[in-house]
């Protein structure tokens, strides 16, 4: 703490490692093991150092030090735990995040227990707990059976921690459901776009097959390549799939120009629709 008062920041390192190892490496050196960590390992862990710093800052009312701790936590979380906001917007990002959190499980749970004990309800305690709560659906999966057991034991012995974890898990589940349903919506929308544009293309090819003289209409529209010397045949617009937009369209192999599926020649259903509209007008 004195270090912070003099320098405006502090080292998370043990005395003998100061100035030798950059802080970033200290966080990244962590390796998740099956056996529990020793008290000394826990104590030296930079994440735990931050928790103790935060508790001190809280005790003595030093807002600047709390801010500094949060800055260090946020940096670590972004760098090592995939906590960038964008990671929580897709299921792929969420899975990556879950792998990162599971790879630091003991470290996070040790820190969460101490933070929840020393500074319950604080910004730091909540953020640490939330990183675990966010990945709850993955903790319970079979390949993490040991971690799940460990979590149950830890929560079983600490009702305050269990209550906070449950609350945050419910909130995280809600976010998870929202991301899932948005993903489903996007998949459905893209399938509909493929189908709709594909039908328009087929409809136009069908119209030309029924009336060969209409093949002429599948030419690249005159304003783009009518003056080309390559000739009429090369100017035919062909159906193509646009990978970027996920739709079928027409593409001229001569000038590379492309058009939406309904921009070239009215299809059979378009003309049928038009004539049935006329019928309705007549009636």
Binding site for Zn ion (CB under 5 A): 220, 224-225, 252, 254-255, 257
We find the least distance from the C-beta atom of residue 215 to Zn ion, in angstroms, to be 16
Q: Which is nearer to Zn ion, 162 or 255 (CB)?
A: 255
Q: Which is nearer to Zn ion, 212 or 223 (CB)?
A: 223
We find the least distance from the C-beta atom of residue 227 to Zn ion, in angstroms, to be 10
Q: Which is nearer to Zn ion, 11 or 215 (CB)?
A: 215
Sign for the pseudo-dihedral over CA of 145, 148, 149, 150:
positive
Residue 179 CB burial class (10 angstroms; 0-12, 13-18, ≥19): middle
DSSP 210: H
Distance CA 71, CA 10 (A): 12
Distance CA 65, CA 57 (A): 6
User: Are the CB atoms for 200 and 267 separated by under 8 Å?
Assistant: yes
Q: Which is nearer to Zn ion, 33 or 227 (CB)?
A: 227
User: Are the CB atoms for 109 and 150 separated by under 8 Å?
Assistant: yes
How far are the Cα atoms of 5, 86, 212 from residue 30, in angstroms, in the given order? Answer: 28, 24, 71
Centre a 10 Å sphere on the Cβ of residue 78 and count the other Cβ atoms it contains: 13
We find the least distance from the C-beta atom of residue 268 to Zn ion, in angstroms, to be 24
We find the least distance from the C-beta atom of residue 228 to Zn ion, in angstroms, to be 7
We find the least distance from the C-beta atom of residue 254 to Zn ion, in angstroms, to be 4
Q: Which is nearer to Zn ion, 57 or 237 (CB)?
A: 237
We find the least distance from the C-beta atom of residue 258 to Zn ion, in angstroms, to be 9
Distance CA 87, CA 90 (A): 6
Q: Which is nearer to Zn ion, 214 or 253 (CB)?
A: 253
Distance CA 36, CA 47 (A): 16
């Amino acid at each position: 703490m004195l270090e912070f008062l003099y320098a405006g920041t502090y080292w998370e390192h043990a005395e003998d490692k100061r100035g030798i190892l950059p802080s970033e490496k200290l966080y990244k050196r962590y390796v998740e093991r099956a056996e529990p960590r020793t008290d000394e390992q826990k104590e030296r862990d930079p994440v735990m150092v931050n928790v103790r710093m935060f508790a001190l800052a809280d005790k003595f009312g030093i807002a600047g030090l709390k801010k500094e701790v949060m800055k260090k936590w946020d940096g670590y979380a972004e760098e090592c735990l995939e906590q960038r906001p964008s990671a929580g917007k897709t299921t792929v990002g969420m899975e990556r995040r879950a792998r990162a959190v599971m790879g630091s499980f003991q470290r996070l749970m040790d820190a969460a227990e101490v933070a929840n004990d020393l500074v319950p309800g604080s910004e730091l305690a909540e953020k640490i707990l939330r990183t675990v709560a966010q990945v709850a659906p993955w903790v319970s999966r079979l390949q993490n059976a040991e971690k799940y057991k460990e979590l149950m034991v830890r929560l079983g012995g600490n009702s305050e921690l269990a209550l906070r974890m449950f609350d945050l898990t419910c909130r995280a589940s809600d976010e998870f459901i929202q991301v899932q349903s948005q993903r489903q919506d996007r998949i459905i929308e893209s399938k509909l776009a493929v189908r709709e544009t594909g039908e328009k293309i087929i409809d136009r090819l069908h119209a030309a097959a029924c009336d060969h003289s209409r093949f002429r209409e599948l030419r690249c529209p005159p304003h783009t390549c009518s003056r080309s010397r390559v000739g009429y045949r090369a100017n035919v617009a062909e159906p193509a799939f646009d990978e970027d937009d996920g739709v079928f369209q027409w593409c001229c192999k001569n000038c590379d120009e492309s058009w939406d599926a309904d921009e070239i020649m009215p299809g059979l259903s378009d003309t049928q629709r038009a004539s049935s509209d006329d019928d309705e007008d007549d009636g």
